[in-house]
């Protein structure tokens, strides 16, 4: 078969019998195709990730609102207090704000990271930094 070579898997004398292993044969002077520069791929990945990020953010907002309303329904029978309401207690307002903020932030971070992982699995390019900057 042209383009295919055989290479022994173990040196003679170690196992008595050596089985040939199929290996890829490359013609001299033929190089493996390469992709563009790393910086170029990162810039394109960031641009292509923008619609994915916007969609994930909208989904995160809708999911966070559903989760907060469901949790607030367990805490209190009335609707969640808002700063625009005149007759509310500070305690209920701050409790609702803290719960809502924690839920929205957790859902946002989870959906953002999941969408980045899905984008990476699809394109092979991570849209962002690989590690946080050292302090």
pLDDT by residue (tens digit) across 58-86?
A: 999 999 999 999 999 999 898 999 889 89
Structural domain count of the chain: 1
CA angle 75, 77, 82 (to 5 degrees): 80
Beta strands in the chain (DSSP E): 4-8, 20-24
State residue 45's pLDDT score: 81
Query: What is the domain extent for residue 104?
Result: 42-123
Would you say residue 135 lies in a domain? no
Within-domain flag for 17: no
Residue 36 belongs to a domain:
no
**CA pair distance 107, 113, nearest whole angstrom:** 10
Residues 6+ apart with CB under 8 A from 94: none
Is the pLDDT reported for residue 30 higher than 60? no
pTM of the model: 0.63
Residue 33: the pLDDT is 47
Domain annotation covers residue 23:
no
Whether the pLDDT of residue 6 is over 60: the answer is no
How far, in Å, CA of 127 to CA of 46, rounded? Answer: 5
- Which pLDDT score, from 0 to 100, does residue 42 have? 73
Question: Is residue 5 situated within a structural domain?
Answer: no
């Amino acid at each position: 078969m042209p383009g295919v070579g055989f290479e022994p898997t173990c040196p003679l004398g170690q196992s008595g019998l050596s089985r040939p292993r199929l290996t890829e044969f490359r013609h001299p002077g033929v190089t493996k195709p390469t992709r563009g520069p790393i910086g170029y791929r990162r810039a394109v990945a960031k641009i292509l990730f923008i619609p994915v990020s916007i969609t994930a953010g909208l989904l995160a907002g809708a999911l966070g609102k559903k989760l907060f309303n469901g949790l607030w329904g367990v805490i209190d029978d009335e609707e969640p207090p808002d700063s625009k309401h005149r007759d509310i207690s500070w305690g209920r307002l701050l409790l609702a704000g803290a719960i809502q903020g924690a839920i929205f932030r957790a859902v946002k971070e989870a959906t953002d990271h999941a969408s980045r992982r899905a984008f990476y699995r699809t394109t092979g390019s991570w849209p962002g930094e690989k590690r946080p900057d050292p302090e």
